[in-house]
Amino acid sequence: MLELVKELCALNGVSGAEEEVRDFIRAKAAPYADSIRTDALGNLIVYKKGKKPTGNKVLLAAHMDEVGGIVTKITDEGFLKFDFVGGVDRRVAIGKPVVLGEKKVPGIIGLKAIHLVSREEEKKVPKTDSLYIDIGAKDKEAAEQLVELGTYGAFVGAPEEFGTGLLKAKAIDDRVGCAVMLELLKEDLPLDVTFAFTAQEEVGTRGAFGAAFSVTPEVALVLETTTAADLPGVEDHRKVCAPGKGPVISYMDGGTIYDRELFETLRDLAEDNHIPWQTKEYIAGGNDARTIQRSKKGVRVAAMSAAVRYLHAPASVGSTADFADMLRLTRLFLDRMAESC
């Protein structure tokens, strides 16, 4: 599965411009799907029959989109003013390479040179409106030949294994969940499953609303990533979770109180099958589960995540063993759902 994660992370799919990722997933999923469709919000909905006919009772969801930027103005000098799409820490964006639009125009996020910065400015994190993207254009007219307003920008960074079983890449959030679902689609499933590859999660879990409303599942498992804060200087009670300690099974986060029975099912399956697991030690964050849970009459939801350092940064870090264990535990979860349906 690791090579598939790498392929997915190398693609660009900023929220609202997920086409490249969606086309890749559709091509991979089509040979195994009983039905496949793209809805009005850009979600890719894939249905596959299993050994036990259960219809639309079970939904697996993972989001395709990633954080990035969008061009809002072109200056007379040919620089691009922009805003961030999704929650990006401005401190880690400065000086990072990006590509813009379908043409993949190369650029770099710039800021006023350090020797021109006042002592007061040195003490503050630069605001977004003080940043710009340099595409090497000599003036506004030259820039307009390459980029127009509303063009999306994605961070650049080739996926790379390093350290002891770690992967660094952009968009690990949430191409890992997409990879798990694509692997499962290749297999004989114990029951019917709907797979929702959702859009626009990073800007408010928008795609998940349409996906859940149209599928109307009874149970949903969201496959995600979550913030790992096992870092120097972080107080123990705020470290949340850590890469390499197994999938994160959540009982609550900033957007959802998860179904207790489903949480306990995942926990017990992990322990009975000697799969390492952890849970969040700090209540924070949120994902598509919050939206799916509130669809129509309500949906029982669970979430399983990979702990990832530097989430929403140009390069994030996760454990390859955790990715594999997410696949194993999801497979066991579907077996249990087939027994109980």
pLDDT confidence of 230, banded at 50, 70, 90?
A: confident
275 in any annotated domain = yes
- For residues 315-337, give the mean pLDDT: 97
Say whether 201 is catalytic. Answer: yes
Please count the structural domains in the chain.
2
Does this model's pTM top 0.85? yes
- CA torsion 62-63-64-65 (nearest 10°) is -160
pLDDT (tens digit per residue) in 53-77: 999 999 999 999 999 999 999 999 9
Question: Do 78 and 142 form a contact (C-beta atoms < 8 A)?
Answer: yes
Residues 8 and 117 in one domain: no
From 155, 184, 204, give the residue that closes a domain.
Answer: 155
φ, ψ (nearest 5 deg) of residue 204 = 120, 30
Please indicate, yes or no, whether residues 275 and 131 belong to a single structural domain of this protein: no
Vertex 135, ends 131 and 137: CA angle to 5°?
115
Residue 174 preceded by cis peptide, ω within 30: yes
Residues 221 and 283 in one domain: yes
Does residue 130 form part of some domain?
yes
- Asked whether residue 92 is assigned to any structural domain, the reply reads yes
Q: Same domain for 115 and 175? A: no
Tell whether 99 is covered by a domain: yes
Same domain, yes or no: 187 and 136: no
CATH of the domain at 207: 3.40.630.10
Which of 155, 186, 210 lies at the terminal end of a domain, its last residue?
155
Q: What is the pLDDT of residues 14-55, one digit of tens each?
A: 999 999 999 999 999 999 999 999 999 999 999 999 999 999
Look at residue 311 and tell me if it is in a domain.
yes
pLDDT computed for residue 193 by the predictor? 98
Whole-angstrom Cα distance, residue 276 to residue 242?
12
On whether both 76 and 208 belong to a single domain, the answer is: no
Q: Give the strand pairing for 152-155 and 248-249.
A: unpaired
CB 98 within 8 A of CB 108: yes
| Residues ≥6 apart with Cβ < 8 Å to 87 | 67, 202, 312
Binned at pLDDT 50, 70 and 90, residue 157 comes out as confident
Cβ neighbour number for residue 172 with a 10 Å cutoff: 28
Rounded CA-CA distance 158/71 in Å is 23
Catalytic position from the list 201, 235, 271, 281: 201
Residue 297 forms part of a structural domain: yes
CATH for 97: 2.40.30.40
15 neighbors 202 (Cβ within 8 angstroms) = yes
- 244-283: per-residue pLDDT in tens? 999 999 999 989 999 999 999 999 999 999 999 999 877 8
Select from 240, 237, 304, 300 the least CA-distant residue to 275.
304
Q: Do residues 100 and 131 both lie within one domain?
A: yes
Q: Please identify, among 99, 131, 155, the residue that sits at the C-terminal boundary of a domain.
A: 155
- Determine the structural domain holding residue 84 and report its residue range: 68-155
Is residue 200 located within the same domain as residue 308?
A: yes
Question: CA–CA separation, 38 vs 132, rounded Å?
Answer: 34
Cβ neighbours of residue 335 closer than 8 Å, sequence gap 6 or more: 190
Q: Are residues 184 and 316 in the same domain?
A: yes
Q: Do residues 91 and 25 both lie within one domain?
A: no
Asked whether the beta carbons of 9 and 159 are under 8 A apart, the reply is: yes
Smallest CA-to-CA distance from 154 within 171, 137, 168 is with 171
Residue 160 domain-assigned (yes or no): no
Task: For residues 70-93, give the mean pLDDT.
Answer: 94
202 with 65: CB under 8 angstroms? yes
Q: What is the pLDDT of residues 196-222, one digit of tens each?
A: 999 999 999 999 999 999 999 999 999
User: In sequence order, what DSSP letters do the residues of 95-145 get, joined into one string?
Assistant: T-EEEETTTTEEEEEE---GGG--HHHHTSPPPGGG-EEE---SSHHHHHT
Say whether both 175 and 91 belong to one domain: no
Helix (H, G, I), strand (E, B) or coil at 317: strand
Q: Do 215 and 227 fall within a single domain?
A: yes
